[in-house]
Amino acid sequence: MLNQYLTNIVIIKNNLYNLYFNLKGEGSSSLQNSLGNDINNLNKFYVKLSFLIKKIGGYPIMNMEEIRNISTIKEISSKDYTAKEASSILLNDLTVINNMNNQVGEYALKNYDFGSINLILEFNRFLQDRLYLLKSNF
């Protein structure tokens, strides 16, 4: 479950970079700043989640082919995106990862896995703030 979660984070990060570099039109510069912050937050979580997987005896999936096969979030195409399109994509991707975050949190709680619980709660704060802001724009 943690590796699927990790692969979804990788795809979201790639999607964010794609949106960051391909935003066009009105509202793109302010959204680009937000996307940059999102990328930084996801990078931090990605590293912490990778270390957690390693700590519990697993291997974080790093192979791009495996990542694409396991992830439930799909990569977006490289093309121009408006701020509205980018916000919609981000809202969808973060909603998927938020649902997965909740599932991982429930599993960790049932198994008294406090390391995972703390990580999930930390990431949950970021997700809730971003989802609130994205939903308020629609």
pTM (2 d.p.): 0.89
In whole numbers, what is the pLDDT of the chain averaged over residues? 92
81: helix, strand or coil: strand
pLDDT in tens, 104-113: 888 888 888 7
How sure is the predictor about 114, in pLDDT bands with cuts at 50, 70 and 90?
Answer: confident
Q: Are 3 and 61 in contact (CB under 8 A)?
A: yes
CATH of domain 2-136: 1.20.1260.10
- Other Cβ atoms within 10 Å of 134 Cβ, number: 17
DSSP string, 35-61: HHHHHHHHHHHHHHHHHHHHHTT----
Q: Between residues 55 and 13, which one has the greater pLDDT?
A: 13
Share of the chain above pLDDT 70, in %: 99
The pLDDT score that the predictor gives to residue 110 is 87
Place of tokens 């439930």: 72
The pLDDT score that the predictor gives to residue 119 is 85
Domains of the chain, residue spans: 2-136
pLDDT in tens, 65-104: 999 999 999 999 999 999 999 999 999 999 999 999 998 8
Q: Between residues 29 and 88, which one has the greater pLDDT?
A: 88
CA–CA gap between residue 13 and residue 120 (Å, rounded): 18
